[in-house]
Structure 1
Amino acid sequence: MAYQSEYTLLEQVIQMLATKEDSKFSKVIEKVVNEAMKLERAKTLQAEPYERTEDRMGYANGFKNKTLALATGKVLLKIPQVRGLEFYPSCIEKGIRSERALKLAIAEMYVKGVSTRRVSDIVEILCGTEVSSSQVSRLAKELDEEATSWRSSPVGQIQYLVLDATYESVRVGSKVVKQSLLMAIGVDYEGKRQILGTEVANSEAEVNWRSFLEGLVRRGLHGLTMITSDDHAGLRAAIDAVFPGILWQRCQFHLQQNARGYVTRKDDVPAVAAEIRKVFNAPDEQNAERYLQSLVEKYEKTQPRLAQWADENLREGLSVFHIPENHRRKLRTSNLAERQMKEIKRRTKVVGVFPNADSLLRLAAAMLIEQNDQWQNEKRYLPESNDRPAFKEIYRKKVA
């Protein structure tokens, strides 16, 4: 991809970031700018801290704190001081920081997955100095610590859990392989949504999903009443193992899409889709069962594969009838998670192939942290409900 195309995309990212308040973004800016200023001081002095060299031009003399109130929040800058020559970091104007340049640098790092070579180029553009791979690695480590802290933070009481995964190209040794990015979103009992975590795994096998879900439990997840996801053997097995007896809602959208593969006549697709929607949109479970039985009987002679598939699978999309009515529309599909995955894919498409799994995780975590912080300042996702069914008496129906 040409640089001009990348730059146009980055401009769009910058405009998006500039319209949203985000304290987490301010912390990332703070880390990047402070590191960049230290690198520039070392370049100016022609010596690293405590390094003895005949080429040294002066001496480091501590730091001077400066707080800037930016659109993204307060940023504490530690401006490097120098003894023996005049110095002021070029990546900030004296008294005013170039916020646009910093946003461009951060946005490009997010888009590019923060590879060592790319960050070297960015810091050089930002500060006008070249940096070593070890220096860039140190900066990446600081950014990773922010993501690690978020991914290990306490979870607490969660009423609903929405799970999803996507695949990205990652370089492993001399090969490029597909690795899975797992994600969990929770909705608490106050109706507020939050992104609980993300993880890169080799696949969606049970062992990987199980490890991910057990990690959420160790972080304090409890109070769960229903899980929504697409149908995947590894995920289903992991849910059974970690959350036995919890309601499982199979994504109705994916069920609707899957049904097309069992319709033998193309002209029948709209009619079948309408009948499945009638099942899902029923006022209660009893009517949904009645509509489903009618659908099965209608097609059992003309399209027996469709009738059998519907009888064995569509009931897995009816668990949502056991939660409060005014919660059903937003929990009957996994769209809440898929919208976040779609946004991640929009960024990862620019990267193409990630240099390693850490790079993919860094990008995904950074984006999800930003989204999670935004959600915390928004109104509740689900309305309050007085309908509190006896969840402990409800068990997900297992299909043999």
Structure 2
Amino acid sequence: MARLHFNLDTDQLKEEIMDSNLKDVTKAAVVLLLNEIMENERDEYLKAEAYERTETRTDYRNGYYERELLLTIGRVTLRVPRTRNGEFTLSLFEKYSRIDQAFVLSMLEMVVNGVSTRKVKQVVEALCGESVSKSFVSSLTAQLDPVVNEWANRPLGLTRYDYVYADAMYIKVREHHKVVSKAVYIAYGINEDQKREVIGFQVNHHESYTAWKEFFQSLKARGLHSPQLVISDAHEGLKKAIQTEFIGTAWQRCLVHFKRNILMTVAHKDKKEVAMALKRVFDVVSPEDARKWKDQFVDDCLETGRFQKAVAILEDGFDDAIQYLTEPVERHPFIRSTNHLERLNQEIRRRERVIRIFPHTQSAFRLIGAVLMDYEKEFSKRTLWGRKKRNKSKKS
């Protein structure tokens, strides 16, 4: 291991101590130390001390230049040695460039996880003693663009997604000096390992048949095969796009939304009774059982003349709401509603509440994509119905 011989300028250090506060003293000591480290690195590279003549000398000294470095104690100015042929490089800056990268990544992680740019600015100032603008913090997030774009356009043909969930949410975006609402389309699928995976998202002007169709076409262009089941709410444009783009795919109407629509037609005092009847209809293992309990509920209502609107909605959407019953029983809790996707939407909302209004569409795409990528890491840790089997085996 090479030894470092420090020739510190004690007069300079003494002067710094007498005339500066403690923080400046620390910075001055660090500058002297780092300058000496770099000087020794150059000596080792040259294989010769200053004014020393040796047969092993590789190059000659060529003065110094100044360079700033941002450390946790603040910004310091260093006296960087150089050589005549210009091939000499310092390990010091390589090391601190990695630290800088880690620091930038930490700032990005704060932004993605819902910390406002104002708070990030305060954290940087507390750690480094450097004041940075909110626009500087915002510009850092642009580094996410290539990462998010690559992830958002990755091929989907390498695995099969038997179940695909689709939903849209609305955000506010500043556009042409106006604040407008835009739809964020999100789709995630359950892959062959029984793990959830965000397979696509898009920011568009509004939720419509044309927009949903284009979104599904983009997924197919990336290799998505027609799934067995698409789970979503009953938006007319979304339903039509599913039928158009996924031939042979069944549509599962979100059971939670469906029950909610039925209960909205019932007086408050009767909600509990109707909710129990719906639970009996849908908490079964086969379409035949569901139809039997549904028919019994409908007959009782017709005899008493009660809940006519609720019955009409139930009859109209019943077949679309029981498609999950044709799948294996252990999968039923996971494929009968879009609840998992609603949880994903909440994560986006948490970040959106901090921002309130996205400055432009690209910033919305960038940050929502980063949130989805981060949340998908949690998806990859857990299987769905496979997990239940393991728990049962442990109990036994």
- State the TM-score bracket (shorter-chain normalisation): 0.5 to 0.7
Residue aligning to 2:348? 344
Q: How does 1:161-176 map to 2 (within 5 A)?
A: 161-176=164-179
Residue aligning to 1:276? 278
Q: Which runs of 5+ in 2 are unaligned?
A: 1-62, 75-91, 389-396
Match of 1:292 among 278, 284, 294: 294
Counting aligned pairs with the same residue, the percent is 26
The amino acid that maps onto 2:70 is P
| Shift, 1:379, TM fit | 3.6
Match of 1:85 among 56, 66, 69: 66
The amino acid that maps onto 1:346 is R
1:144 equivalent in alignment to 2:145:
yes
Residue aligning to 1:110? 112
CA distance in 2 between counterparts of 1:132 and 1:335 reads 36
Residue aligning to 1:153? 154
Residue aligning to 1:14? none
CA distance in 2 between counterparts of 1:257 and 1:288 reads 18
Q: How many residues align?
A: 300
SS at match of 2:171: strand
CA distance in 1 between counterparts of 2:387 and 2:141 reads 42
Q: How does 1:61-210 map to 2 (within 5 A)?
A: 84-90=65-71, 97=99, 105-110=107-112, 128=130, 139-156=140-157, 157-210=160-213
1:55-85 Cα shifts (integer Å, max 9, x gaps): xxxxxxxxxxxxxxxxxxxxxxxxxxx9502
CA distance in 2 between counterparts of 1:106 and 1:139 reads 7
- Larger deviation: 343-352 or 83-92? 83-92
Is residue 164–residue 337 contact of structure 1 (8 Å, CA) maintained in 2? yes
SS at match of 1:320: helix
Residue aligning to 1:318? 322
| Shift, 1:180, TM fit | 0.9
| Shift, 1:245, TM fit | 2.4
Is residue 228–residue 249 contact of structure 1 (8 Å, CA) maintained in 2? yes
Is residue 168–residue 186 contact of structure 2 (8 Å, CA) maintained in 1? yes
Q: Relative to 1, partners in 2 of residues 1:327 and 1:244: Cα closer, same or farther, differing over 3 Å?
A: same
Residue aligning to 2:312? 308
Is residue 113–residue 354 contact of structure 1 (8 Å, CA) maintained in 2? no
Is residue 91–residue 126 contact of structure 1 (8 Å, CA) maintained in 2? yes
Is residue 158–residue 222 contact of structure 1 (8 Å, CA) maintained in 2? yes
CA distance in 1 between counterparts of 2:105 and 2:376 reads 19
| Shift, 1:277, TM fit | 1.1
SS at match of 1:215: helix
Q: Which runs of 5+ in 1 are unaligned?
A: 1-81, 386-400
1:243 equivalent in alignment to 2:211:
no
SS at match of 1:89: strand
Is residue 108–residue 140 contact of structure 2 (8 Å, CA) maintained in 1? no
CA distance in 2 between counterparts of 1:163 and 1:129 reads 43
Is residue 73–residue 127 contact of structure 2 (8 Å, CA) maintained in 1? no
Is residue 109–residue 118 contact of structure 1 (8 Å, CA) maintained in 2? no
The one of the two structures with greater contact order (alpha-carbon pairs below 8 A, sep at least 6) is 1
Residue aligning to 2:365? 361
RMSD: 3.3
